[in-house]
Amino acid sequence: MSSMRRKLVYPSTALIPSAQANSVQIMKMCNALCRFGFDVTLLAGTLPGYGSVNVYEYYGVENTFSIVRKVSGCRRGSTFFLSLRNYPTLKNLAGSRQNILFYGRDVLALYVLARAGRQVMYETHDIVRKGPRSWAERRLIEGQNLRKIVFISSELKRAYLEKYGTVLADKKMIVAPDAADEQPDFSETFRLNGGARFNACYVGGLHRGRGVELILEVAGRMPEVGFHLFGGAVNQIRPLEQTSSPNVHFYGHITPAQTYKVRNAADVLLMPYQREVVVAQNASETSRWMSPVKLFEYMSSRKPIVSSNHKVLQEVLEHNRNCLLCEPDDPTQWVRAIASAKEDEQLSRRISETAYRDFVDHYTWDKRVRRILADDEIAVKEWSCRS
């Protein structure tokens, strides 16, 4: 990495590698920040025994940034202790004379850095409701060294303004939905089981709120369609297999670098988020303000999307324009929408191409980074020098 590039440190508590969506988002952001002209170092955790995994290949990103990983667990509370273990590193960075930009999602780390007088940018994906992170977040927002706060949706920004009021209103706020990379190609496909002529695919977790039960009910009503679910652990899949119809196929976890092959193999992509959506380990409910990476990966695939009709998703999706929207608790609507995608080729082609154009125009990782850093004078100067 060139010494001419300005250093950026991204403190996080993500487990690298893991099946958690936050790890995908953070790795992709670090890759895009490198393309913007930064010398990036990611601080993260890793599970015991995973230290030798080539994480760049696992996530399908370029080996252009450094990663400092500390062994951590995956139980609730592990992220807090990972933040504490990173304290010596943070203290050294805060005392450094280097011109470092600190950007990340670990509010405890950012508070430590801001308290030491360093300017920080904070990206948030959820309301921090209680505990030491809530305490640190309030003091970070009330302090003088929060350079910018980034929200993944307008709904999340509204929720923060309700919580913090005029204290937050004085800060520089950016709404930047999540994003995806352009697919490596559109021809290489994953071999699907079952031999159905029309196939609906879902890629993601199997925990509460993701809509797996809805998919199984819809599949039972559409025996001519193959339903393919990618994600989840063996202990989650086994009980679902016992209650699913013969046209449902489970594949378990697939690495983020390979998911584009699944999307290429699909005839329609499903995003059946329920009224309440929880992140891994049932940590919090996020349906009001989520911005799923999966959504933008789906949009990048040029395949029709059938999605739950959540208000926050309407910041990106529009029924019958770039997707088909259904109520998350109405299986009949889902049956009709999938049937429409199957039978109406003109409709499928139109919404697929519109979603793809929206993705290219607004929702790549590079465009997201530019949106976040557009009014940052130093970042703009560095990008201009490289352009």
3-state SS assignment for residue 256: helix
- What pLDDT, on the 0 to 100 scale, is given for residue 181? 97
Stretches where the chain sits below pLDDT 70 are 1-4, 72-84, 279-284, 377-387
* Cβ atoms 279, 286 nearer than 8 A: yes
Q: Which CATH class is domain 198-362?
A: alpha beta
Which pTM does this prediction carry? Answer: 0.93
User: What was the pLDDT predicted at 379?
Assistant: 54
- From residue 63, alpha-carbon distances to 2, 11, 40, 59, 256 in Å are 14, 18, 11, 10, 15
CA separation for the pair 278, 108 (Å, rounded)? 22
What whole-number distance in Å separates Cα of residue 298 and Cα of residue 315?
A: 16
Q: How far apart are CA 11 and CA 136, in angstroms?
A: 15
Residue 48 Cα distances to 71, 73, 110, 271, angstroms:
6, 8, 26, 32
Residue 378: its pLDDT value, please?
Answer: 53
What pLDDT score was predicted for residue 93? 84
What is the structure's pLDDT at 79?
Answer: 63
Token pair belonging to 263: 């999307």
Token pair in block for residue 122: 């904070």
Tokens of 175: 């709404």
Q: State the span(s) of the chain assigned CATH 3.40.50.2000.
A: 6-179+364-386, 198-362
Sign of torsion over alpha carbons 217, 219, 220, 222: positive
Asked if residues 311 and 195 have their Cβ atoms less than 8 Å apart, the reply is no
CATH among 3.40.50.2000, 3.40.50.300, 1.10.10.10, 3.40.50.720 for 6-179+364-386: 3.40.50.2000
Instruction: Please answer whether residues 44 and 69 qualify as being in contact, where contact means their C-beta atoms are separated by less than 8 angstroms.
Output: yes
Separation CA 369–CA 34 (nearest Å): 10
Tens-digit pLDDT profile for residues 99-151: 899 999 999 999 999 999 999 999 999 998 888 889 999 999 999 999 999 99
Residue the block writes with tokens 């019958």: 320
pLDDT in tens, 53-107: 999 999 999 999 999 987 765 656 566 556 667 777 888 888 888 889 999 999 9
The pLDDT value given to residue 9: 95
Distance (Å, rounded) from C-alpha 135 to C-alpha 164? 12
> Which of 386, 349, 354, 353 is closest to 369 using CA atoms?
386
